[in-house]
């Protein structure tokens, strides 16, 4: 039976092997966890579809492959007798061509797509992972004895190196006695520092010198993925920042007329965000290059892909230490009311940890709302492969110069700054500025009551 890379959502086309929990030759029971698979923002556990023995592992830990590629082979109870186990095939390197051939062959054999089996766990956002779920790499620690080498996760190895500890002196509490991050930290907290090895720690590969009594916090998976994505984005796209100041008096008038009835009917407040979202969607239809992606070709003949629909990514803080960006599909078809309800729904799912991978994929333009924290202006990083992102900062009553038929006067208006970072490969400053001005004119002049 072939175990295939599952389809984790309608728009998800690939997945990364985060960790293998089983080796070639291991017996597995139905629903026992075989491996962890992760996408850009979510992680799931893939279970065994039936009892059997793992006879082959086709894709190494850390590799990214397309949906449908064969990951491993399990012989079921009726297949086990008389079939050899290829011990040398453990996490072998398989070329994409070989994987594709096996995928085709699997249609004639007893292949299993695990999509339906992982739906329950697909929504689990890996913002916080318990210690016993730390990624286990193929690297092991061997002290020269005849005993089986210890399997150590990258986090544990880093902590052991930083504290200059011998793993053999630490009792592991993880699965099969594996040492977890908490085991190392607990040992350092409970041990007399004088009993620790006195040799200096080699910090030649550590760019940051740790100060005495510093608390080292290893990145969890969502922080690591976010860091990798942000670094890749800055390295890929030449970022340019533009900002406009918007008078939200027109929006406030619409909100004030319906806010009480709205909250009574819907159970949550009508905020500025759906109005801004709607203005962005209208403006994107007029300036479609902002709603695009860059297609990089092997022959260096790059192209700009203009998306026919608007899938609006809205950044949501799960906590002060974790951020996700669920996607409102076909946002151009929704009014302010529809956008408000959808934003609230996705925000609740994000904070409850019930987002599916499909909820997190396919975005074409991103809104990042920092206003609740009182920020004045933010320079956001583009959410690849999109070409632009808009930061929404605090909207407060501020003194402004008002121009009318009688000249100029000083007044107090609710104003805020909208800041857009864009990829200069895709558009120029004039195009971005025209888009932002359209957003502003809509917010300041549109008949918003017709959309609530």
Overall residue count recorded for the chain in this entry: 452
> Alpha carbon of 130 to those of 32, 49, 174, 185: distances in Å?
18, 25, 10, 14
- CB-CB contact of 396 with 416 (8 Å): yes
Per the confidence metrics, is the pTM higher than 0.75? no
- CB-CB contact of 448 with 254 (8 Å): yes
- pLDDT, tens digit, for every residue of 324-342? 899 999 999 999 999 999 9
118 & 138 share domain: no
* 3-class SS of residue 278: helix
270 & 305 share domain: yes
Instruction: Please report the pLDDT score of residue 109 as a whole number.
Output: 43
Instruction: Please report the pLDDT score of residue 201 as a whole number.
Output: 45
Range of the structural domain that residue 116 is part of: 2-122
Instruction: Please report the pLDDT score of residue 293 as a whole number.
Output: 94
Alpha helices in 176-218 (DSSP H): 181-190
Q: Is the pLDDT of residue 148 over 70?
A: no
Structure tokens at 384: 């690849």
111 & 200 share domain: no
Looking at the DSSP assignment, which residues form a beta bridge with residue 14?
A: 66
78 & 18 share domain: yes
Q: Is the pLDDT of residue 120 over 70?
A: no
239 & 99 share domain: no
- CB-CB contact of 414 with 394 (8 Å): no
Looking at the DSSP assignment, which residues form a beta bridge with residue 43?
A: 38
Instruction: Please report the pLDDT score of residue 136 as a whole number.
Output: 30
- CB-CB contact of 258 with 264 (8 Å): no
Peptide bond into 407 cis (omega under 30): no
How many structural domains are present in the chain? Answer: 3
173 & 271 share domain: no
141 & 32 share domain: no
313 & 410 share domain: yes
Structure tokens at 140: 């092991």
Structure tokens at 321: 């230490």
Query: In the chain, what are the helix, strand and coil shares in percent, each to the nearest 5?
Result: 35, 25, 40
Q: Is the pLDDT of residue 412 over 90?
A: yes
- CB-CB contact of 268 with 388 (8 Å): no
How are beta strands 365-369 and 388-392 bridged, if at all?
Answer: parallel
- pLDDT, tens digit, for every residue of 356-398? 888 988 999 999 998 888 999 999 999 999 999 999 999 999 9
61 & 155 share domain: no
Task: Check residues 62 and 435 and name the one with the higher pLDDT.
Answer: 435
């Amino acid at each position: 039976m072939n175990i295939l890379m599952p389809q984790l959502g309608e728009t998800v086309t690939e997945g990364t092997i985060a960790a293998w929990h089983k080796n070639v030759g291991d017996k597995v029971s139905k629903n026992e966890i075989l491996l962890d698979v992760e996408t850009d923002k979510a992680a799931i556990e893939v279970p065994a579809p039936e009892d059997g023995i793992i006879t082959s592992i086709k894709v190494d830990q850390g590799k990214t492959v397309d949906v449908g590629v064969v990951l491993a082979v399990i012989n079921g109870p009726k297949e086990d007798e008389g079939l050899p186990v290829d011990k040398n095939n453990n996490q072998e390197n398989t070329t994409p061509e070989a994987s594709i051939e096996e995928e085709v062959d699997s249609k004639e054999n007893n292949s299993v797509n695990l999509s339906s089996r992982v739906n329950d766990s697909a929504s689990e956002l890996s913002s916080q992972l318990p210690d016993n779920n730390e990624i286990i790499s193929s690297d092991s620690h061997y002290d020269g004895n005849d005993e089986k080498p210890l399997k150590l996760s990258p986090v544990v190895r880093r902590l052991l190196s930083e504290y200059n500890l011998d793993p053999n002196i630490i009792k592991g509490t993880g699965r099969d006695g594996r040492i977890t991050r908490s085991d190392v930290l607990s040992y350092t907290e409970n041990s007399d520092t004088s009993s620790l090895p006195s040799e200096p720690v080699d910090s030649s590969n550590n760019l940051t010198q740790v100060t005495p009594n510093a608390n080292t916090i290893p990145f969890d998976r969502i922080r690591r993925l976010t860091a990798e994505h942000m670094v890749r984005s800055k390295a890929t796209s030449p970022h340019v920042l533009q900002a406009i100041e918007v008078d939200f008096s027109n929006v406030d008038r619409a909100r004030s007329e319906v806010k009480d009835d709205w909250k009574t009917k819907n159970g949550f407040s009508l905020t500025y965000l759906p109005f801004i979202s709607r203005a962005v969607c209208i403006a994107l239809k007029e300036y479609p290059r902002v709603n695009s992606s860059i297609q990089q070709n092997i022959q260096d003949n790059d192209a700009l892909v203009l998306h026919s629909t608007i899938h609006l990514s809205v950044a949501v803080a799960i906590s002060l230490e974790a951020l996700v960006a669920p996607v409102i599909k076909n946002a151009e078809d929704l009014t302010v009311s529809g956008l408000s309800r959808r934003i609230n729904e996705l925000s609740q799912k994000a904070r409850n940890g019930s987002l599916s991978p499909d909820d997190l994929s396919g975005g074409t333009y991103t809104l990042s709302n920092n206003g609740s924290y009182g920020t004045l202006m933010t320079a956001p990083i583009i959410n690849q492969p999109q070409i632009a992102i808009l930061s929404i900062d605090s909207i407060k009553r501020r003194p402004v110069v008002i121009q009318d038929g009688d000249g100029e006067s000083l007044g107090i208006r609710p104003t805020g700054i909208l800041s857009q970072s864009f990829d200069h490969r895709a558009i120029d400053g004039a195009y971005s500025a025209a888009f932002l001005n359209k957003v502003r004119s809509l917010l300041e002049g549109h008949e918003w009551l017709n959309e609530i």
